[in-house]
Chains A and B, each alone.
Chain A
């Protein structure tokens, strides 16, 4: 591909837009890998609206930004705009692949906010604003989200350097052959490494407690009540019910929630910046630390995206091993989640401990095959790193054929008909499935609302098209269904496991070309899979070097939190705890 094609000749027809919008498409990008359409900034809302209404692209999966300052590739030789906003749209009704749109933004310019078309852009645009400093016109609540207000700069910009900055790319020269390692302890973190925005006084600063939705929450004037006042209450950040360090800022009247805002970032470690310094392979163990309950599916999602970008083949046996590990992980995650939904409901520990007993056995298997129970780091580009040890297959088959079905049935008997669970769960946290889709929610939550959308069927990856399994759905979209759908999904996973363990062939487990010197071809790619918590995607952009130019994680836990506020309003405080529990978040993935 030559430089010219990146900007020229607007093939609007490929995007399938009608004539009146064809001028909105001003170019294409990265045709060699995954083509994207460049849209004029002032027309982006029209294009999004049209794609949503007339073309069925109802799901804004990924929205992120790329900073091209200092870009080394050939494609952008004659483009000045420094930043680009990336949109990946899918259709949940039709299934199939994505449409990728780019909007070019010069530094310090603004972009129209997509929240009016896709409310699910809310958290993602806030993240882009926080990390890149791009302002979105018309966003209802454009505040920093992962970082605090006193943070100086926008850390994902290429010219921003972290406190212990050493070099732009690993491996660092100081490690060999002279080994002049600089200890971080020698650099004072609170003196020269901390700066504040201009005009910022850390001493006089106080956090504004009443943010927009919370401060403008409606008063329940018409209800007969004692003379009460609505007050702002923080749930968290340090509280077991928040599943980590996470805060729900609520305005409550009595016990009723009038407005709720998720506050996060306490565990933020700029995973994506680290990812841009790392070589392609080095990111693999870092993905373990995202959703640390499901390192196997994180590994797979990243491997999948890189394989798509660099066009790497995966041997047959490795495909089976990946499915086996991913489905075991799904069972681990769902039993864990069921246990902790019950915990949040007040059924302390007994259901949780029963639910995670089988997890123990599965983690033992993970440890035997990969060397670690949770930080598995098991997959590589082009396969998996080690074949099964002796005796593993028999044990896994015993689990899949005997123990797990029995254990899941037992959980079913323990909980499903429980009258207290029904009383607490039925009708609580309701949100119509259309709203969930509009809020970019994915995973078990939309299936508990009646929509059979699962990437394993909608856009099969790996070898999922070979297995016989169903996508369970439930109609009510409430806490109870969100509990039950996970149990049903775990049962389906058992079915897949039985087939995969039965059919797995002998052979290679790792293809050739994915070592630590991998250079991915210039271009970009968005790869996704159905992680236990929802759609886990990796947006990768490469300028042909040994490091990713951009490494973005579309994490399901984070984006599913879009729905937390709308789902909680009108319910009691005690219900909000369970509503959060039933979203099933892991803060390692939320904050990244």
Chain B
């Protein structure tokens, strides 16, 4: 009979409406089971896989709980125990990066000899395609994927070109974002630790001996070769300063003006640690329920 198909279809829409209604009724006061209150009318939500009825999440008040492997923009790990950057400026990440959006300046000691540390580390977040190759191939567990995805700014340049300071996070932050992987890594690293330290001490001793023997070499010869479209060291410094100024202006509206580069960094680390704890708490509650 003409119209039975239509009626059947309408039955389906009716069922959806009822499902949503029932779901709403069952989940008073929370719309979703397992959602976590962050205070301030914000909550983190994980939709159960058998969710029926409405599937909408009301961003930004409600956010999804991200899975551990979520990848967005990389971050550099500051090893809080050893008080040092894990990155050794080996450059592998810059080589494997498909859009070539990482660039690294290797640091040198006072004698101009390259050392295993970078003086500059940039990621152009507007170009980064979140592929996580840098993470996969870094041999030192120094670069990991961050979960922060609310990165909108008014200008691509310079705000989206992240420098080392913006990229660096403490180890605890990483441990909270990636608990499973962190545990595995930690176990592995412990094993390697002793050997590594010995080797590094040897190396450092050798390097120091050699460096003492040599005198300072010219560090600026390559700068002369820089062609017009490239940014000179001076320009880069100016840009870095500009960024620092912007950050200060953003962060410290009430704070003192001069001595707070270190203070700002510390505050940022603290803030990241606080967020890490929060994330750890979220996960714990999530697992508990």
Contacts and interface: CB of A to CB of B under 8 A. Distances in A.
A172 B100 contact: yes
A389 B98 contact: no
Interface string A181-219: 111011100000000000000000000000000000000
A377 B69 CA distance: 12
A171 interface: yes
B137 A516 contact: yes
B280 interface: no
Given A285-B131, A395-B49, 17 more contacts: A176-B91, A176-B95, A177-B91, A177-B105, A182-B230, A187-B229, A278-B98, A282-B98, A282-B133, A364-B67, A371-B145, A377-B132, A385-B136, A398-B50, A399-B49, A413-B12, A416-B5
A433 interface: no
A390 B67 CA distance: 11
A284 B137 CA distance: 15
B125 interface: no
B129 A285 contact: yes
B21 interface: no
Interface of B: 2-6, 8-9, 11-13, 15-16, 47, 49-51, 55, 66-71, 89, 91, 94-98, 100, 102-106, 114, 120, 122, 124, 129-133, 136-137, 145, 157, 180, 222, 226, 229-231
A53 interface: no
Interface of A: 170-172, 174-183, 185-187, 278, 281-286, 350, 354, 357, 360-361, 364, 367-372, 375, 377, 385-386, 389-390, 395, 398-399, 403, 410, 413-422, 516
Contact of B6 (A372, A395, A418): A418
Contacts of B49: 361, 364, 395, 398-399, 403
B69 A375 contact: no
A285 B136 CA distance: 13
Given A179-B104, A395-B49, A419-B5, A367 B70 contact: yes
B95 A175 contact: yes
A278 B99 CA distance: 9
A574 to B, nearest CB: 20
8 contacts: A175-B95, A181-B124, A187-B229, A278-B98, A281-B133, A375-B130, A385-B136, A410-B12
B67 A389 contact: yes
Given A176-B104, A413-B12, A419 B67 contact: no
Contact of B55 (A360, A395, A403, A418): A360
Contacts of A418: 5-6, 9
Contact of B100 (A171, A185, A286, A516): A171
A417 B4 contact: yes
Contacts of B15: 410
Contact of A175 (B103, B136, B145, B230): B103
B129 A375 contact: yes
A179 B67 contact: no
Contacts of A386: 69
B67 A177 contact: no
Contacts of B91: 175-177
B231 A368 contact: no
B100 A177 contact: no
B127 to A, nearest CB: 9
A367 B180 CA distance: 16
Contacts of A172: 100
B231 A176 contact: no
B126 to A, nearest CB: 10
Contacts of B137: 516
Given A170-B100, A175-B102, A418-B9, A186 B120 contact: no
Given A372-B130, A414-B13, A417-B5, A179 B55 contact: no
A570 B55 CA distance: 41
Given A171-B95, A372-B71, A399-B49, A176 B103 contact: yes
B229 A186 contact: yes
B230 A177 contact: no
Nearest to A171: B95
B122 A181 contact: yes
Contact of B105 (A179, A283, A390, A417): A179
B178 to A, nearest CB: 11
Contact of B114 (A177, A284, A516): A177
A371 B132 CA distance: 9
A367 B67 contact: yes
A516 B9 contact: no
A255 to B, nearest CB: 26
Given A282-B96, A420-B6, A371 B47 contact: no
A281 to B, nearest CB: 7
A136 to B, nearest CB: 34
Contacts of B94: 171, 175-176
A178 B95 contact: no
A385 B15 CA distance: 41
Given A185-B157, A186-B231, A516 B67 contact: no
Across the A-B interface, the 4 shortest Cβ-Cβ residue pairs: A417-B5, A176-B91, A285-B131, A282-B98
A417 B106 contact: no
Contacts of A176: 89, 91, 94-95, 103-104, 106
B111 to A, nearest CB: 16
A413 B2 contact: no
Contact of A179 (B3, B16, B103): B103
Contact of B120 (A179, A283, A385): A179
B51 to A, nearest CB: 8
Residue among A178, A181, A286, A422 with the most chain B CB within 10 A?
Answer: A181
B11 A516 contact: no
